[in-house]
Chain A
Amino acid sequence: MFENFKIVRKIKKLKNVPVRNEFLMSLRHRLENEIRYSSFVSEAKYFVFSPFKYAFTFAIIILFVFGTSSFVFAAESLPGDTLYPIKLLKEDVQDSLIMNSENKIVFNERRINDRFREMEKLLGKGKDGEILISLEQNIEKYFDKILEIEFKDIEKDLSTDLTSI
């Protein structure tokens, strides 16, 4: 029994035979790439063969059709209408995309005029109360925005003048 133990210990010493670690590291990288590639392929396969593909495509079409038409219909909506928040959202997005301060002022002036027009239409329909208050708040918001842009421009001009002195 003891003899066996000694032999086994000697056999186990053969574990010390060295192997090339650089090879093992490069093989690991190769496997990582293989794994990444096969995950990509299986995801693509899942999409191509999955029944969800049709549901997904259908959802995209619905979103596109309704999304576009809702923007068109929202343009004529008045406060209190279902589509009115979409109209405001569209204007906010447009506003955020304008970089030039002059154009920004013009755009917000147009928004103020639009809100006044909406106010007139609502009054014509005999509506008042909270809807009109929210319109006034929006108009104030656009005024503040214009004032803020103008104030920034004035500050900028002043600092330019001072540095030139």
Chain B
Amino acid sequence: MEDKFLAAYDKYSKNILRHIYFRVSDEKVAEDLTAEVFLKAWRYIANGEEVLNFKAFLYRIANNLIIDFYRTRKENLSLEALEEDNEIAIEEKNVFQSICDEDLTACALKELDTETRQIIMFRYIDDLSVKEISEVTNKTTNNISVIIHRGLKKLKEIINNF
């Protein structure tokens, strides 16, 4: 079990770290969350729980931790907003802004809504199958396929308009 876990770490850690980095756009936070993903995964397995798809399982933990990270940040910022009487719209930031100048696709991805961008990333950067994405996001496979199809169409339009 230990060997299998470490083999899975060697196989997926880089992708998980990159995925989190793309979504939180802070290297330090991405590293902290990656460490938490694997520690949580190990503790879950060590408790004797069964994991059918390890890749999807890791991405699911990562996804939940990213959501928690933004939720906590939003709560903290909302308090400040209340104090300053300002309306601050918090949305999941992404690293694509910083590489937008060098990469047109990154620019286009930045323009997508958060959910579509996440699913496109899961599918084409992290190489998750539609079924695995549905396990991670709790959406149906049909729903995922539609989001991917529409997302690619939107990306094409954005790129053509640049």
> Which A residues contact B (CB, under 8 angstroms)?
3-4, 7-8, 10-15, 17, 19-20, 23-24, 27-28, 30-32, 34-35, 38-39, 42
**Number of B residues whose C-beta is below 8 Å from A?**
35
User: What would be 24 A-B contacts, judged by CB atoms less than 8 Å apart?
Assistant: A4-B156, A7-B159, A11-B121, A11-B124, A11-B155, A15-B18, A17-B18, A17-B22, A17-B99, A20-B27, A20-B31, A23-B17, A23-B34, A24-B13, A27-B31, A27-B34, A27-B35, A28-B9, A30-B35, A34-B39, A34-B42, A35-B46, A38-B43, A38-B46
B90 interface residue (CB < 8 Å to A): no
Assuming the contacts A31-B42, A38-B46, asked whether A11 and B105 have C-beta atoms less than 8 A apart, the reply is: yes
Interface of A is mostly: helix
Do A19 and B155 contact each other (CB < 8 Å), given the known contacts A31-B6, A31-B42?
no
Q: Does A7 contact B5, Cβ atoms closer than 8 Å?
A: no
Residue of A nearest to B105 (CB): A10
A11 close to B31 (CB less than 8 A): no
- Residue from A10, A19, A32, A35 in contact with B14 in the complex, judged by beta carbons closer than 8 Å: A19
Q: Kindly list 9 other residue pairs between chains A and B, CB separation below 8 angstroms, not including A17-B21, A23-B31, A32-B6.
A: A7-B152, A11-B124, A14-B106, A17-B18, A17-B99, A19-B14, A27-B31, A28-B13, A42-B46
